[in-house]
Amino acid sequence: MYVGFATDHGGYILKEPLLKAMHNSGHKVRDFGAYKLDPEDDYPDFVIPLARAVAQGEVERGLAICGSGVGACFTANKIAGVRSALIHESFSAHQGVEDDNMNLLCLGGRVIGFALAWEIIQTYLAAHYVKAERFERRLAKVAVIECKE
């Protein structure tokens, strides 16, 4: 899978181990930064380009990591077509894709360690949207709101 990846200083400690694990698992990764540890950087500078790439189909899925995951999540969701969630356990990682067609996963780099982050990412990337009528209906309602706002 072609995955977009972004992190700020708060998630930077997980960046290299996760990039290596994704590459070793056969995923192609587009890195949106940060490219160095800078305690003064701002998550929107990395998350917005990632979210735009997800919304435009330039990458199949996205992964964003900031300190708590909260800022990355609400920033990503400002981009039309992005369905992002802050996830810190495996059930929601697959359920969010299967039921809600989640296309951008956010994690808190200061909240979880590598092993759990990698488990969640593997679960997220392996999940597939179940295009059931009730899921399509719900997503259509969200899309209407997205167009109006």
| Residues known to be catalytic | 66
CA 87, CA 65: separation in Å to the nearest integer?
Answer: 11
Look up residue 129 and give its DSSP letter: -
CA 26, CA 24: separation in Å to the nearest integer?
Answer: 5
Torsion sign (Cα): 119, 19, 74, 104: negative
